[in-house]
Structure formats: C-alpha cells, structure tokens
Amino acid sequence: MSGATLSLIVAIVGVGGTLASAVITQVLAQRAESQRLEREERVRLAEQRASEDQRKVDQLRDCYVQLNARDRHYRDAMLAYAYALKSGSAEAEATEVSSARRAQRDARAEAQLIASDAVLEIESRVNAQLTIAYRRLMEVAGEPDSSTREARLNQVIDLLDSIISQQGHVRALMRLEVRATEELPDWYNPEIGLPQHQLADH
C-alpha cells in the first residue's frame, strides 16, 4: 500500500471519527434532553394532581364547616326556643328556629353532593334527631296545658342535649377527611345515633 493511499485512509477514518463523534454527542444530548423533559412532565403532573387533590380537600373543608355550623346552630336555636317557651314569650326564638332550619337544610343539600358516604350516613342520624326535636317542639308550642307543656319541653331539651354527642362523632369523621387529624379518636363510634333495634342487629 502506497503512502498516499495510507494517508487517504487515515484521513477518511479521521473525518469519519469526527463525524461519528458529533452524531453520538448529538444523540446523547437529545436523549438527555428527552429524559429531562420527561422528568419535568412527571413533576408537572404530580404537582397538578396534588393541586387538584388540595382543591378537593379545601372544597370538602368548606362544606363540612358550613354543615357542622348549621347543624349546631339549628340545635342551639331549638334549645333556646324550648327554654323560652318554658319562661313565657318566645316569638324571637321561634323566628330564629325557622331561619336556622332553612340554613341547615341548604347546607345539607350542598353536602349531599360533596360529602363522603360515611359522613352523610352518620350526619343523617343527627338530622333525623333534629327533625324529631323540631316536630316535638312545634307540637309543644301549641300545647295549652302548662304542666303538660313543661314535661314535654323537658323531654325535647333532653333530646337536644343528647344530640351533642352525635355531633361530636360527625365532627371527628369530618376532621379526619379534611386531614385535620390523622386518626379517629378512641371514643369514636360509627354506630352512634342508630336506633336501638338496629344496634341489636350488629
């Protein structure tokens, strides 16, 4: 092989090596860029999911704050009305009960679209007791006999007092769902408020 041919081969190999090196460098750079973009996309999707998850928790928290407040206010308004009936005039308290009842109904309507099944189930027991208390209170308000009225008002007051414990159980579950706490308290009982014949079946 002549020196000219050898020089030509060396030159071709050198040029080929240079070109190959440039191609390999470009491929590696494109691969690194592709991996970087994939990582950024994964991070973006994770942040998007976290943001959406937080938005849902915030929406649930707002719903639960309203439902809890309206249930409590409704109970408190009926209790104030019952005590007012015991002492005489109760027009202002009667108006407040009507207002509280409407607000509680609106809060429950929203909760039925947002709240979890577990919260709706246990809160519905509270609402059932509130409904019973309201019905009895309206009946007592029309009771003409003072001694009968007194006894029946005491029964309504006892019923309204018993609801406090049930509301505490609803709040405990709500707090767990909005991540205000990591676990339910030891005293939590998912069957709180169940009628006695249903408790016997469990």
Q: Which of 119, 18, 17 is nearest to 68 (CA)?
A: 119
d(CA 199, CA 191): 7
Instruction: Indicate the pLDDT class of residue 200, thresholds 50, 70 and 90.
Output: very low
Q: Which of 164, 165, 180, 193 is nearest to 65 (CA)?
A: 180
Q: Amino acid identity of 149? A: R
CB atoms within 10 A of CB 33: 10
CB 183 within 8 A of CB 132: no
pLDDT, tens digit (0-9, with 9 covering 90-100), for 75-123: 999 999 999 998 877 788 999 999 999 999 999 999 999 999 999 999 9
CB atoms within 10 A of CB 116: 14
At 121 the pLDDT is: 93
pLDDT, tens digit (0-9, with 9 covering 90-100), for 33-72: 887 888 888 888 888 888 888 888 899 999 999 999 999 9
The residue with greater pLDDT, 8 or 112, is 112
pLDDT, tens digit (0-9, with 9 covering 90-100), for 116-144: 999 999 999 999 999 999 999 999 988 77
